Chains A and B, each alone.
Chain A
């Protein structure tokens, strides 16, 4: 017993995998000691203010800088013509398109960047921006993506009007970006033609915005003497930024240093490269002094990285028992004026083909048509992997539509179609290999926890009294961890990730990774992975990210890829170190390596645990001359990890809502979320991630939208209208879990932060629609604001007494 107590204590000392270790970052954040982009102040720094277009589509006839230059403190006014000598008037996007850095001859969306005023302080810069005179000639505006490919549609991109492709295959109209498809169309059509039952529904994922607390910004500092460019930037992917800046500027990549610092939330919004960054960099190169550019809230919501805007059509073919025989999903994607959609080169519609979900669907076909409109560019993945929310929303809504059509219970329809636990790894009809899952167990656990039968009974009673109560289910499968380089690259760079670990003589360590925390708690969780692998205390393992001069190359943090890819790299790098440590231990103990066994924090001689070397002892030995013949000193390792597959977290959610038919208000009475993200690194952080993701799902389902009028004017681009729920609106979350490890990840972990967002949104919608299901309603588009729900009540004639 003594040995076992000792082992438990040693295990506890590590604070490794599976412990709810407190977040290392919080001591800094709660004391106000974080360093966000606007906290960066460099000597002699100037400020840039953007001049933006009031029109959604207009020709620029002239720009007069004179009055702006006369404003005290204004140093320069940069317009597209000023960027041409350095060839930075246009830039490549992450979607294989190009984007005007500053509007060149015409503007294509409201608040597009037209000029930047550089001044000695931000007040003077704003005053100067007000005085830049731009003469516009308004052009016809295209807002509705359904009209984008009409013969008489206004042509938005004259710069590429004669190009028959923009990176993703043949275009059929000047406003057409690409058509992408997956699966077997003919086989699918044939199943539909012969199916016992088919259902079809138009389903919109409205244009929304991730709206991180901190808006985007940068401080660019070019040293004319050394030729060194340092950029402090709000980026989720600092290394990719460095590569793009090198490609754009011609500055050797070795002389560019990108520093992420603390980032106040990203949620996909901070993946792309924005014009403000580029102009600030140019201005610094030209002036030789640091330039700061910080976005306002309205600019952030209006112009940087929106998400969704997928106008989908879902179709399922099934037999009378509700067993699905085929799936056909299409979507019209509104990408705005430039295709700055963040996507891997070969995946222009991201991972949309995960749309078969958790279900065993033998035949499927999906297709996405992307078009230009006079709206801000983007198409980022808002707390999800690329286009996964759109895909999961479609399948999870369509499961309910099919259930209603066949009068089968919404839990039962799922049971009948789940991929069985014994079928993993399971290859979907759209080409993915789901690594592991146990969907039936998860669903049954949740149904029991909420007394699903009891809820349905209560609902029947409420309906008899004319009251509206809805029960929403969602049994989603996510796809995260981009990704295997054979399918995933951006600008030709594979989406591997990296970890570099150096163990110090006294047994502490520093690890640097190619990812970039925006609040996820990486400094806490990566240290836990390494602690368990190395037998060193996580308290003594320092984590660094985001400084490209220090960290090894990686693709950053988005698409829940940190744990699946960089987390794997951390474990693998640690294992390289442990292998070397084993050789050292064998040398010191004068036994063969095979005679040793690993135990928590040390190598023991098999059968004689009194003979052992702790990792701390080995760390010191590694810095002496007492090493095996030919072995170098040091205890370091670097791993570049190219995952063999994506990981596929899943979950089962239940939501219960009560709807006030006189005001349209929806009250979320209960939300129960069971998540399976494989091996759990830090349960407390997982729970926090789930709370955050569900809250953002709630925001999307019940209020977020970026509306426009017919002239392309924003109708709600400040926090007055754009819904960020506070603690008052946010429902109470109940969380639960099962653990089905990933078979291909070194520690079996899958990633979790996006699951609650991806799974939460359809769960809320399913609950709202379910409240009206007995009245024949099969679908309601988001957001489910009181106004819109009231309109549904009114259409049904139930809004009055």
Chain B
């Protein structure tokens, strides 16, 4: 549990960080909250020669409203998300999700940008981002680009983020007033990753589903968008049959890995169950 020797860098600005990234290339790793990277280093599963700590870069911090868009600095911690009145008012799904990440100590250090860019299918923000239709600002020495959450996750620990890029900001279109939401997460204990979880945003028109987004955590190589389930729900009432069909379609895209949380069958069933519960709760929270 002792990492290999490494050099530690603490740049004060994004250009400085990009400069270090260019200088050290494959030898370098960006350090956000460290709650995935540092354990991997202690187990010597990751052995970077240089750690570039993004913690002192002020531009990467903060939550603000820009027209209809919520803009969140990539180094914003989970607790800052939880404590944000702006998010509570405009995007409570993100607050609910952050509260279910790990434990209070970790949430002081863990960041939204780190959680997303690590590309771990067990992390919670990816599914939340898919359900919220978020996009990410990726910056390199040659400029910045904005990619949608739907495109970002390629596979296990594999994302569109290039080695010379830093994720600087998360942009979330503020959900319309009255949007129902829920993040239903089944876990063994505080601090655990999800056995399975479902993030849902839902707009209702009377008793009819107008718009719905469903995303699943930890039941595939990356966070999964349950599009067939969404399609099946649009225009329907959320009765038992519709919930069952949505759960079935969500389960049909699952390809989880067996571990101590359960086998493939259980995890798949739990993805269905969490989808059903998230939809029910979102429905109860939505304006009809």
Contact = CB atoms under 8 A, between A and B. Distances in A.
Interface of A: 49, 122-123, 125-127, 130, 296-298, 662-665, 703, 707, 715-716, 720-721, 723, 725-726, 728-729, 785-787, 790-791, 799, 801
Contact of B2 (A123, A664, A801): A123
Interface stretch (B22-30, B67-75, B186-194): B186-194
Interface in B240-277: 240, 244, 259-263, 266, 269-270, 273
B193 to A, nearest CB: 8
At the interface, is chain B mostly helix, strand, loop or mixed? loop
Given A787-B195, A791-B266, 20 more contacts: A123-B5, A296-B1, A298-B1, A663-B186, A663-B273, A665-B186, A716-B260, A721-B259, A721-B260, A723-B188, A726-B103, A726-B191, A728-B190, A729-B190, A786-B186, A786-B195, A787-B261, A787-B262, A787-B263, A790-B262
A229 B130 CA distance: 63
B192 A720 contact: yes
A298 B103 CA distance: 21
B260 A790 contact: no
B243 to A, nearest CB: 9
9 contacts: A49-B2, A123-B2, A125-B2, A664-B266, A703-B189, A707-B260, A786-B186, A787-B262, A790-B262
Contacts, number: 54
Given A786-B195, A787-B266, A799-B269, A127 B5 contact: yes
A665 B4 CA distance: 40
A51 to B, nearest CB: 13
Interface in B1-30: 1-2, 4-5
Contacts of A664: 266
A665 to B, nearest CB: 8
A49 B44 CA distance: 15
Interface of B: 1-2, 4-5, 44, 103, 186, 188-192, 195, 240, 244, 259-263, 266, 269-270, 273
Contacts of A126: 2
B244 A786 contact: no
A801 B262 CA distance: 21
Contacts of A130: 44
Contacts of B2: 49, 122-123, 125-126
A725 B189 CA distance: 7
Contacts of A723: 188-189
B288 to A, nearest CB: 24
A720 B259 CA distance: 11
Contacts of B240: 801
Contacts of B263: 787
Q: Which residue, B4, B263, B266, has most C-beta atoms of chain A within 10 A?
A: B266
B189 A662 contact: no
Contacts of B103: 726
Given A130-B44, A787-B263, A801-B244, A729 B5 contact: no
Contacts of B273: 662-663
Contacts of A801: 240, 244
A787 B188 CA distance: 9
Contacts of A297: 1
A296 B3 CA distance: 13
A726 B244 contact: no
Q: Which residue, B188, B261, B269, has most C-beta atoms of chain A within 10 A?
A: B188
B57 to A, nearest CB: 28
